[in-house]
Structure 1
Amino acid sequence: METLNTSQTISNAPLEEKGMDFQWLRDEGIKHLQRLSGAIWTDYNLHDPGVTILDQLCYALTDLSYRIDYDIDDLLTGKDGNTFESLYSPAQILTTNPVTLLDIRKIIIDVPDVKNAWVELAMDTDPIIYLNPTDKSLRLTNPDETNVVLPIKGLYKVFIEKKNVGGDVQPSVRKRLMACRNVGEDFAEITVLDSQMIYLSGNIEIGEVEDVNAFAADLFLRISRFISPVISFYTLDEMLQKGLQIDEIVDGPLLQHGFIDDEELLKYDRKTELHTSDIIRELMDVQGVSAVNNIELITSATSEKWRLILDTQKTPKLDVTKSMDLLKFVKNGLTITLDKESIENQYETLLSADEQPILDISERDIVLPKGDYRNPGNYHSIQHHFPKAYGIGELGLPESATIEQQAKTRQLKAYLLFFDQLIANYHQQLEQVKELFSFQSEDATTYFRQSVKGLVPNADDLLAANYEEWLADNSSQLETDQIRKNKFLNHLLARFNESFTDYSLFLFDYSNKSSKNMAPLEQSMRDKMQFLRNYPAISSDRFKAVDYTESFADPVNRSGLEKRIAAKLGIPAPDGTLLSEQENREGFYLLEHILLRPIMEDYMAYADFLVSRNITAFEKVDDTYVKCTSKAHGLQSGEQVTINGTGTLTDPGYDGDYIAEQVLPDSFLIKSPFLPDLSTESFIQEHVPTWIRTTVDTTFLLLTRPIEEFAAVNGDPALTRCKVTGHGLADQELIEINGTVGYNGKFVVTVDEEQPDYFSIEKPFSADEPGKGRWISSSQKKDPYSLQLTYVFPNWQDRFKSEEKDDNNFREFIERVVREETPVHLTVYVRWLNKEEMAVFETTYYQFLEQLRNT
């Protein structure tokens, strides 16, 4: 009754929005007219035509202001009804690829038929990698037990508890993990744990229970859940009811079955032992249990009254059938006979209730209701609202109107057309406000116009013949639109704390180099749009690695980090073609060192790698070098070998350790005096000399950089100058050179600050050096696998070319972006390859990934 008696009135208080206040607009308009006209116009009463026009314009502005005040979701709703096309939901924008061990656990538990899972750091590898503490080389064997185990960081072991006995969940778990693996990380082992069956024995005294079989099934379910807990999934509403904020709830991977409470998951760690006291407490908490006596925990191997140590390679599971044989249910001193079949059926029915369905997206995300399309651009001409006496409405002038009256009317209509066009454009601007904040369309228009043809009564003949063509032509304001559109996009990027400022500056500097034939403003606009369209994946998958279990030939199968860096640099998505076969297609590769670690297949190949092979001939090259013939030797320049079979107790002959200074298809050179007596065909047939690799250092092959040129140092014949662009060495730093004939070894470098791309070594220059060689800093990490990435870029594309004395070197910008975007715990290497080097790399890399996929 109180509501019915409340009077409903229209407030006469001034409107907060001045644009909706007709009287305020009219007063302001008259004040403006008075300032402009002074003494020329003194009659501001309602009958004055100028005042009448002012009234109509003020009314039109109040209507426009009213439309501007529509709910924002209505303004963002287009004719197609899609309201939030360019606004991402919390589950889209706040979820991430798994980052922590807890996140990885959630991903695994979300796989169907997985009950629980645990993730641990892998402390060793299979096979074990050994580090020689003397020469820092890596080996897969430890024959003299002087080497130390090299721990690899970034490897995980996964242990899975299944829900059901049948079926193999390991392939499904591996597929899910590979699809969300992070860069620099891998899963060394995925193990599905067998069940360790647990039985209970003892006596349980019960009170008043209506259905003892249903009571027993509930009791067994409670004990089963204690021994092997069930991880619960929650809807978004249920998590909100727990008092969590939306950003806390969706912080982590997006799961199909709902959300997992972190605190609950942390409680359910792997059990290593069971205590009888805990079981007794659980039993006593069951309503209807009066007392428990002589409770014991039993496995197939042992029986314990107080503490049962569990098998670490299995997960405990209650065996209900055997427990029913060993437990006695007693009431008033009498043993109750149980219907075991009924209990097992009811128990299985209760277990099935633990199955979690895949939730609809509306239960895992905030799905906002669509707005109502209000058609804010629909303009009704002000000329419809003038008094009929003006003759400019639909009815027009009467047939008796004179020519002079018709002319004056047309003059007024033409004058009012300017106002109609302006107000119609404002309506169209409001209609298109959704496009201003959109990144779905590549249309740069930010000033929108609307044709008034057909909207203004009886005025079409006043419009020019090319009026609509002129109205649709935006060419004159294209640059202005592009500048404004870039500002809108900058605002949208800033909402995600992203910026393209530095990249945009480089676009202007490199606009003449770009192969995209696109003006810098347009290219910047399109790159920003592409970035925003893909932002949910670019953001959440920024540390995601390539799925090496899927084909790398699919251009979509690239790491999230690659995609993010490419988007930040305006590099197009890969199209499946090789970079070495393209003249100006930009792109790059990301190589994870952890994937290069040896696996068991490598160990078998490694064993063959170290097999002794025969030398069939020794030939003199010159006074310094001897050529050793050995078909299909497989050596690379710089590898160390040991030769045996030519020496005696007093004369070693060729026996000893050497470096393969230069390799040919069926021979290699060693630095040694030529020994004619030991090089005859008969000597070789009798003694059968052999060679074997003594060091296999994968660090050298992985982390070395090429020396571009050896040159003489003017005025000092004892030195050789080496050219290495951007070597980054410090003066007096120790390096190792290999892959040459005359320069192999370790050297202390001399660096001249005025020539940053050169360093000198204490070695006489040799003009006869056939190879350019490779080098590595002796301070370089001797673990080539852990937490390291190498980015491989082509050096011949327009923007990627390095030009001397270029203050705005795009290469430097690329390397800066790469280091800024790569997670800080990862060591980054950037390599620039020419076409020939890229062709070799791509062939090898694709073969490697294909072999990795098939392991």
Structure 2
Amino acid sequence: MEKQRVILRNSKLKPPEDFNFLRQQGMNYIRQLGSRFWTDYNLHDPGITTLELLCFAITDLAYRTGFPTADIFAAYMDKSQLHKQAFFPAHEILTMNPLTVNDYRKLMIDQEGIHNAWLAPRHCSCDDVTATGATDGCAEDCNCETEIYADEKNGQLTYKSHTPDGKQAFEKVNIKGLYDVQIALEDDPVFGDINDGRVYQTLTYGSSRATIELRLPAYEEILKKWNDWKDLIDNTITVTGVTLNKMVDNNGTPVTDSNLSKTMQSAIFIDLQLTLSNAVAITFSNAVLNIYLSFSDALLTADITSALQQVPGIISTYKNGLEKTHALINATRANLNAHRNLDEAFCHISLVPMEDVSICMDAELTPDADIEKVQAEIMVKIEQYLNPNIPIYSLAQLLKEDTDITEIFNGPRLHNGFIKNEDLDKADIKQEIHASDMINLIMDIPEVVSITNFLMTSYDDRGEVIYHSQPWTLPVTPGHQPRLYVQRSKFLFYKNGLPFLAASEAELNSILQELRSSGEYLKATGINNELEIPAATIRNMEDYYPVQYSYPLTYGIGEFGLSDTEPTLRKAQARQLKTYLLFFEQLLVNYLAQLQHAGDLFLVDSSQLQSYFTHWLSDSDIKGVTALYNGLTAPALQTLTEPANGGLARRNRFLDHLLARFAESFGEYALARYSSIPAEQTAMQTALLQLKTDFLSNYPEASYNRARAIDYTVAAPCAPGNIAGLQRRLNSLLNIDAATSFVIIEHLLLRPRIPGQALLPICLDGSCHTCYDNDPYSFRLTFVMPGWLEQNMKIDYRRYAEKTIRQETPAHLLPKICWVDNKACDDTLLCDLTDLLWGLQVPLPATRDEEKLRPLCLVAQAAIAAMNNAYRQALTTGNNVFPVKAEVEQFFEEKVKDGIASGVTGITPAGIATVKIWIVDYWLAHTDCFIFTRLELAWCAWLAANAKLTAKDNYLENILTDAILKANPGKQQQDVCSCVHTLMEQYGEAIRLWVVSQLAGGLQKAAFDTMINTMAPVCNGIITTPVNTVFTTFYDTDKIQLLQTHATLLQVMSALKSIYPPATLHDCEDGNDVNPVRLGATAIG
């Protein structure tokens, strides 16, 4: 029933809305001020009449001021106008780039095709105990990174784990900030469960049906044998033929029609050869085949062979599943890298290993129970317990639950809805399974009376039993996701003591499909999950009815005035009263103008400089009012109220209020740029206004992505739009133009991803040095700032910038800040150019001394500065492309020539030409001096080379292991793995030393192959013939380019050196800008 609306008899009014209150206050003031001369306070008194009318006018103002905020800002309450008021929608301002583990899980689960996802810090290095319990050096969880060690005695990192004599072990460097990702895929509507290599097909023989279960290599195995099996995930290649070469039981006995019935009671092992459309043949040896059927007498081996060799058939289903898995994992990797945070990376993205669990149980049912329906409900409840669906809620659902808005929008912005943290916790990977939990769920089914003989059995990836018939608790292999093994589960039902099984498999499957579908949460991107903009009524706040129009007609100041027959004195008196009231009228109408423009006060627009708004009363507002003015115009009234630029300070304060709503402030920046000169103060206020409006207009993105890093996997990682969120934010806070911005180097990205990459030193020296511990990669950033810019050469600004960078950098990251130059770097350049100019003087002075050299030195200094500035400008506008000779000659003609001609006594045109050739040749030959540009070029070149690495490039160790195993058929895998680990160290260090020695001349593929082929790998008792071939094949031209660009970047980084503002003494021992000494200045100025 709708709540009845009533008008309160005694409504409580606010003081400005209460006429009686205002009148009483006015009367009190009159008595206090004029009681000696004014004693008649009755209603007929003109003064009391005026008081009452003014009080009523104030209540009107209060009434309008009390309109809903949405009405006051109605002009901006449109989706296209909200950003002008910094009224950011909740889905923009409350959400943020994924930060926590749950945030990343939500991001992945929101992705199409992903059922569940898990994220964990990289938990092992090779030779450590892995998530699967393995302790060998070939554990699959460790194949995403190259191992490095700290040689503390020599102060360097190395790929070798021991000293050359093997007596001393080096400390392993465990790089932090890396994450392993596991995902579980949704069932494909066509190919079914694609989470592993297990595929099913229905086999029809005679009038009967059987289910074939074939276990083939999972996606992860395909990557490990990439060179042999890569065609299986290529969607342009199809299966054209399948041949069954062998079918034996677990004893190696061939399967025949005579022993088929007995053999099917356990696993069958087969060899399959696939022929692909590109004429490549792939063989699967000892693949596990299980056949499930009710009656086996009529089934023949020919039926099985025909089903397996059918094209398209079970093998085509398997390949299609691999292709979709590959696409989903690549999409997940791209999604994660696009939302990666600073100095973090995703190491190993894989499918979560599935562990099948079969359930055997007896259930007593009510007599009227539908057995197929009850069994389907039991199976779905068990499936949801083992591997639950994660609900995705709409905004309407959460609002109906009275969930707080800040909680709803806390986390990443998703496409399909919202995910609760508690649901993620329920869907975490289980360490053990409890029978009591499942029994409680089953007992919720109304038709179930009791449960007995509840047993659980788990199976490995080949279908072998791990734990058999566990009654209460079943351990789950670490890192595995349990899954109901329907084919090996058995449900026996009793009604009044009589046993029953589900009679119709078709009906059971139909009900099962229906129940599974009803429990799924559709990812529907079309649902509106944004809060509605508050409804607003557009009102004319400036609609004004003059106070004087409310006076009794006898006053003669109303809309119709006095009669023409009235005497002149009477007209003068009325005119005088109108003039007296004009003061009040102007105050009232100005108030309404201010209210009408309330939205403009907070407008995020630097061109809006006005903070006080006026309404010039014209004859259309009050009849005959313009005749009362003595030269007053609308512009004059505005200037009188607020002089030119008078609103700058107030507009800045309004924007400060908006900034404070987001806990932001530009107070320290203003102090760092403060000037006491009035003209400069105006310019500073204008610049501040521009800075604040720019910052606020882009605030949702700056806030959302404040910890977000670049996507280093895209083809063009240095594209203008691909910059870190922190860099965008700092550009705004520090007033840095994007064209002359800085570079953020994430040390984690510099870690070696393939053996042989150059390694960072354990301690970096230099003017911007930071001494590291044994790990120079984890949680470290280097900010390379353009120190030569005018703004950056001011010590107060630099202090503010460094403080801001450290405050804005996430707390767990250590920033190193370098203010580098970008100019010609030869220390003798000034002297050499001065000597050249000395010799070109006409006439040449007879003697040479310091006093005569000083003017030429200044000319040379100006020429060098002009060329450096021209070069920098060209590099900035030309995307770091160095100028060609014609451009450098133009620099000389435009920037240097006149200074040389006027500064060198008697210099001839030929002399100027000589200087031009000398300067042009010098700058063309010394491009390696421009350290900031070289760093940007090296950073981008390495990022581009690094982006070419793919998931398969993490498996060199597996490729090498597989090659050695093939060459050593009788060797134990553990021995081979130990050998592989030694070889990885040996070759990694050898490649690193080769990179260092050959870097200056450029790394070449042919030279690399020659170096590798000179190596003689040795492992006791193990044939290592294929080792060199594996390395020369793996290190293609792209990887040689990666080695080159990576080493070049590290070389440039080692040459970084901070420059300091003019007239500043730097404390070289301190190594930073905390205590610089400025010449001619004290500590206070």
Rounded Cα–Cα distance in structure 2 between residues aligned with 1:7 and 1:854: 71
Query: Map of 1:103-252 to 2, 5 A cutoff?
Result: 103-122=103-122, 123-124=124-125, 126-142=145-161, 144=164, 146-164=169-187, 165=194, 166=321, 167-168=324-325, 169-193=328-352, 195-201=354-360, 203-235=362-394, 246-252=405-411
1:231 deviation in Å? Answer: 1.9
| Cα distance, 1:524 vs structure 2 | 1.8
| Corresponding residue SS for 1:800 | helix
Q: Distance in 2 between matches of 1:396 and 1:31?
A: 32
CA distance in 1, matches of 2:678, 2:170: 56
Structure 2 distance, partners of 1:269, 1:154, is 22
1:583 equivalent in structure 2: none
Task: State the AA in 1 paired with 2:932.
Answer: M
Deviation at 1:791, TM superposition (A): 0.6
Q: Judging changes above 3 Å, is the alpha-carbon distance between structure 1 residues 358 and 523 closer, same or farther for their aligned structure 2 residues? A: farther
Q: SS at the partner of 2:600?
A: helix
1:198, 1:304 → 2: CA distance?
Answer: 10
Write out aligned runs for 1:385-396 (5 A): 385-396=550-561
- Indicate how the Cα distance of structure 1 residues 8 and 16 shifts in structure 2: closer, same or farther if over 3 A, else same: closer
Q: Which stretch shifts more, 42-51 or 358-367?
A: 358-367
Q: Say if 1:703 and 1:784, in contact at 8 Å, map to a contact too.
A: no
Following superposition, the deviation at residue 474 of structure 1 comes to 8.2
Is 1:839 the counterpart of 2:933? The answer is yes
- Which stretch shows the higher mean deviation, 303-312 or 420-429? 303-312
- C-alpha distance in 2 between matches for 1:27 and 1:843: 77
Q: Which amino acid aligns with 1:130?
A: Y
Q: How far did 1:788 drift?
A: 0.1
User: What does 1:312-711 align with in structure 2 at a 5 Å threshold?
Assistant: 315-320=481-486, 322-323=487-488, 326-331=490-495, 332-358=497-523, 367=532, 369-402=534-567, 405-439=570-604, 442-453=607-618, 454-463=620-629, 467-471=633-637, 477-509=643-675, 519-550=683-714, 551-572=716-737, 574=738, 577=739, 579=740, 587-600=741-754, 603=755, 606=757, 697-699=759-761, 703-705=764-766
Q: Could you tell me how far 1:17 is from its partner in structure 2?
A: 3.0
Q: What per-residue deviation string (whole Å, max 9, x for no partner) do you get for residues 748-777 of structure 1? A: xxxxxxxxxxxxxxxxxxxxxxxxxxxx67
Match of 1:301 in 2: 464
Note the 1:680-829 alignment, pairs <5 A: 697-699=759-761, 703-705=764-766, 724=767, 779-802=771-794, 809-829=796-816
Question: What letter matches 1:111 in structure 2?
Answer: Q
Q: Which residue matches 1:663?
A: none
Contact 1:22 1:62 in 2 (8 A): yes
Question: Structure 1 residue 247: deviation in Å?
Answer: 4.2
Give distance in 2, aligned partners of 1:47 and 1:277.
90
Check conservation: 2:105, 2:117, Cα contact below 8 A. Answer: yes
Counterpart amino acid of residue 421 in structure 2:
D
Does the 8 A contact of 1:272 with 1:311 survive in 2?
yes
What letter matches 2:792 in structure 1?
A: F
Query: Residues of 1 paired with 2:676 and 2:32: CA distance?
Result: 53
For residue 75 of structure 2, what is the amino acid of its counterpart? G
- Relative distance call for 1:362 and 1:465 in structure 2 (3 A) is farther
CA distance in 2, matches of 1:511, 1:333: 101
**3-state SS in 1 of match to 2:117:** strand
Residues 481 and 301 (structure 1), Cα distance of their counterparts in 2 relative to 1, 3 Å cut: same
Please identify, of 26-35 and 126-135, the stretch whose mean Cα deviation from structure 2 is larger.
26-35
Distance 1:8 1:420, change over 3 A: closer
Question: How far apart are residue 525 of structure 1 and its match?
Answer: 2.4
Whether 2:227 is the aligned partner of 1:64: answer: no
Report the AA paired with residue 829 of structure 1: K
Please report how far the alpha carbon of residue 522 of structure 1 lies from its aligned counterpart in structure 2 after TM superposition. Answer: 1.9
Residues 459 and 243 from structure 1, CA distance in 2 versus in 1: closer, same or farther, beyond 3 angstroms?
A: closer
With normalisation by structure 1, the TM-score equals 0.70
Q: Could you tell me how far 1:162 is from its partner in structure 2?
A: 0.8
Residue 563 of structure 1, CA deviation? 2.1
Q: Using the alignment, how far apart are the partners of 1:814 and 1:484 within structure 2?
A: 26
SS class of match (2:57): helix
Q: Is the 8 A contact 1:428 1:448 kept in 2?
A: yes
Displacement of 1:446: 1.9
Structure-2 residue corresponding to 1:683? none
User: Structure 2 regions of 5+ residues with no counterpart?
Assistant: 126-143, 188-193, 195-320, 823-929, 950-1085
Partner SS state of residue 673, structure 2: helix
**Using a 3 Å threshold, how does the CA distance of structure 1 residues 51 and 337 change in structure 2: closer, same or farther?**
closer
The answer on 1:287 being equivalent to 2:446 is yes
By how many angstroms is 1:431 displaced? 2.0
Kindly provide the amino acid, as one letter, of the partner of residue 222 in structure 1: K
Distance 2:26 2:781 in 1: 67
Cα distance, 1:47 vs. partner? 4.3
Contact 1:276 1:297 in 2 (8 A): no
Distance in 2 of aligned mates of 1:233 and 1:9: 45
Shift, 1:222, TM fit = 0.7
Distance 2:33 2:817 in 1: 68
Distance 1:100 1:466, change over 3 A: same
For structure 1, the 5+ residue unaligned runs are: 580-586, 607-695, 706-723, 728-775, 803-807
Deviations 1:428-467 (A, max 9, x none): 1122233334435651322111232221124345457772
Alpha-carbon distance in structure 2 between the residues aligned to 1:365 and 1:80: 15
Q: Deviations over 1:48-102 (max 9, x none)?
A: 4444433332221121122223333433333766797534455544433322223
CA positional deviation for 1:845: 1.5
Structure that is richer in helix per residue: 2
Structure 1 residues 135 and 35, CA gap change in structure 2 (3 angstroms): same
Report Cα offsets for 1:280-318 as digits up to 9, x if no partner.
Answer: 555445432343437453542227211666565753332
Q: AA paired with 1:699?
A: P
Any conservation in 1 of the 2:96–2:411 contact (CA below 8 Å)? Answer: yes
Residues 267, 136 of structure 1: CA spacing in aligned structure 2 closer, same or farther, 3 A cutoff? farther
Query: Would you say the 8 A contact 1:81–1:373 is kept in 2?
Result: no
Question: Which stretch of the first structure deviates more once superposed, 68-77 or 425-434?
Answer: 68-77
TM-score (norm 2): 0.56
Would you say the 8 A contact 2:77–2:533 is kept in 1?
no
Residue 534 of structure 1 and its aligned partner are, at CA, apart by: 3.1
* 1: CA distance, partners of 2:417 / 2:372: 34
Q: Distance in 1 between matches of 2:608 and 2:524?
A: 38
Alignment partners' CA distance in 2, 1:333 and 1:279: 24
Deviation at 1:824, TM superposition (A): 2.2
Report how far residue 334 of structure 1 moved.
Answer: 4.0
Aligned equivalents of 2:524, 2:595: Cα separation in 1: 38
Aligned in 2, Cα 1:464/1:137: closer, same or farther, shift over 3 Å? same
1:711 match: none
Q: Which amino acid aligns with 2:173?
A: L
Residues 284 and 34 of structure 1: CA distance in aligned 2, closer, same or farther (over 3 Å) = closer
> What's the CA shift for 1:545?
1.3
Whole-angstrom distance in 2 between the partners of 1:57 and 1:41? 19
Identity among equivalent pairs (%): 30
Q: Which moved more, 1:219-228 or 1:329-338?
A: 329-338
Q: Which has the higher strand share?
A: 1
Offset of 1:512 from its aligned partner?
A: 11
1:77 paired with 2:96, answer: no
Q: Name the CA shift for 1:335/1:49 in 2 (closer, same or farther; >3 Å).
A: closer
Give 2:586's aligned amino acid.
Answer: Q
What is the alpha-carbon root mean square deviation over aligned residues? 3.7
Q: Secondary structure at the match of 2:74?
A: coil
Partner-residue secondary structure (3-state), 1:527:
helix
Which amino acid in structure 2 is aligned with residue 154 of structure 1? G
Q: CA deviation at 1:246?
A: 4.8
